[in-house]
Chain A
Amino acid sequence: FQSAAIISPSVPRRNKGAKILHDGQRSTKFLKEIFASSPILSHHQEDFNKDAIVPHDYMLSIYRTYSAAERLGLNASFFRSSKSANTITSFVDRGTDDLLHSPLRRQKYLFDVSTLSDKEELVGAELRIFRKVPGDLQTSPTGLYDIQLLSCRSERLLDSRSLDPLDSRKPGWEVLDVWEMFKNRHHSDQGSQICLQLKGTLGKSEMEIDLKQMGFDRTGRTQQEKAILVVYTRSKKRENLFNEMKEKIKSRGSGSRSEEERGLQFKARRRRR
C-alpha cells in the first residue's frame, strides 16, 4: 500500500485562484497533526464512549493517499489497493484470547459487520493482524512456519502465509485475503457476525505451534494494534450524505437511556442539521 502513497501537495490544485476564506495552509496539514490539535478526537471520546474510536493507521493512510490523488485529478479507484471500491470499511476485532488455555493454539477473530449494506457490491475483503515481536525470542519456533486462516464454522482454509522467524524480530501487519468467505456470503443466512480462526503450524507439518510465540497474542494491545477486517465495497448507485445522517440519527435514537440523558448537545446539533 505504501508504494501507492502520494505526498500531498502544499497547495491543492483545486484552490488555485479561489478566495481562501480562512487559513491558507489548512489543506497541507497531515491527519496526524489534525488529530493532535483538533478537538474532534476528544469529542469522539466523549460521545462514542470510553473505548474511543481511534482510526487505524491503515485507514488514515487510505484517506491521505486517495484524497491527495483527487487533488491531482486522479481517480482513487485506479489504485490496485482500492480494488476499484469507493467505500472501505474497517471493522475492529472483538475477539479475546482464552488465557486459561496456554499455549494458544487457535485464535478466533470476531467482527460485527451488521452495518454492511446489501445495496453495496462487495469487491474485496482482507484481515489485517498485527504481529508483535515475541516476548521470548528464545522459545520462538525455528525454521519457516505457516499461519493459516480458517472459517470458524466450516474450518475451510481461506488464506495462508509462510513466515520466517528472523523476520518476526520486527513487528508488522500480516494481511490475509478473506474475499473467498465474502464472495458467497448472504446476509440472511450468515447473520451479522464474521468469525475467523487463526492457527500456526511448523513448516508444512500439521504440528500446531503456540501463537503467543509468534507474536499474535492480544495482551497489552492498543486500540490501533487490534486486528481489523477491511471490506471494500462499491456503491451501485450514487449515494448522498443524507444516508449517513439518517443512519447516525437512527443509531442515536436507539441508544441507551443514559446516552439520551447526556445528549442535550446532540439534540442541539441535530436541530441545527
Chain B
Amino acid sequence: TALNNRHGKRHGKKSKSRCSKKALHVNFKELGWDDWIIAPLDYEAYHCEGVCDFPLRSHLEPTNHAIIQTLMNSMDPNSTPPSCCVPTKLSPISILYIDSGNNVVYKQYEDMVVEQCGCR
C-alpha cells in the first residue's frame, strides 16, 4: 500500500501521474504571433502528460499495439519503453488574422485544443 504524502503524491516508484490532460495556456503575444493574429490573444490548448503503465485504464483508449507494448514494458522495462501519452482527440479554434496581403481573414484551425489524452 502506497502512502500519500502531504501533497497527495505517492512516494517512490509511482510518483509520476498517469497519462491525463494538463493545462497549457498559449499566449500568442508571448509567441510573437500578435503581429498577424488579431484574436484570440490567448487560449487554453492543454497537453498530455503522465505515464502509460500497466494496467492501462480503458478511458485511455489504448490501441492494441499500446496494450502489447505496455505489457512488454511491465515484464521487462529495459527491453521496451512504455507506450506514449498523446492527444487522441483534438478540437478546432477560430482565429482572426491578417494575411500576407493585409486582408482580414477568419479561419477555423483544426487540431488546436486537446480534448482527450490516451496511450498509443
A-to-B contact residues, CB < 8 Å: 12, 14-15, 18-22, 26-27, 31, 34, 38, 40, 43-44, 47-48, 53, 55-56, 59-60, 62-63, 66-67, 70, 76-77, 86-92, 112, 114-115, 238-241, 244, 247-248, 250-251, 266, 269-270, 272-273
Residues in A whose Cβ lies below 8 Å from that of B31: 272-273
Inter-chain contact A70/B106, CB cutoff 8 Å: no
Minimum Cβ distance to chain B for residue A61 (Å): 10
List residues of B (97-120) whose CB comes within 8 Å of A's CBs: 97-111, 113
Given contacts A44-B98, A48-B98, A115-B101, contact A66 B106 (CB under 8 A): yes
A47 to B102, CA, bound (A): 11
- Whether B41 is near chain A, meaning CB under 8 Å from some CB there, is yes
B-to-A contact residues, CB < 8 Å: 22-23, 25, 27, 29, 31-36, 38-44, 46, 91-94, 96-111, 113
Q: Considering only CB atoms, which chain B residue lies closest to A88 in the complex?
A: B106
Minimum Cβ distance to chain B for residue A45 (Å): 12
Residues in A whose Cβ lies below 8 Å from that of B42: 22, 26
Q: Which of A38, A67, A269 contacts B93, CB < 8 Å?
A: A67
Residues in B whose Cβ lies below 8 Å from that of A55: 38, 96, 104
5 contacts across the A-B interface (CB closer than 8 A): A47-B35, A48-B102, A91-B103, A115-B100, A272-B31
Given contacts A43-B34, A67-B94, A70-B92, contact A115 B103 (CB under 8 A): yes
Inter-chain contact B44/A18, CB cutoff 8 Å: yes
Minimum Cβ distance to chain B for residue A169 (Å): 30
A240 to B91, CA, bound (A): 14
Residues in B whose Cβ lies below 8 Å from that of A238: 110-111
Inter-chain contact B44/A59, CB cutoff 8 Å: no
Residues in A whose Cβ lies below 8 Å from that of B109: 239-241
Residues in B whose Cβ lies below 8 Å from that of A66: 94, 106, 108
Inter-chain contact B39/A70, CB cutoff 8 Å: no
Given contacts A38-B41, A87-B108, contact A244 B93 (CB under 8 A): no
Residues in A whose Cβ lies below 8 Å from that of B100: 115, 247-248, 250-251
A107 to B5, CA, bound (A): 76
Minimum Cβ distance to chain B for residue A52 (Å): 10
Given contacts A40-B34, A272-B32, contact A87 B103 (CB under 8 A): no
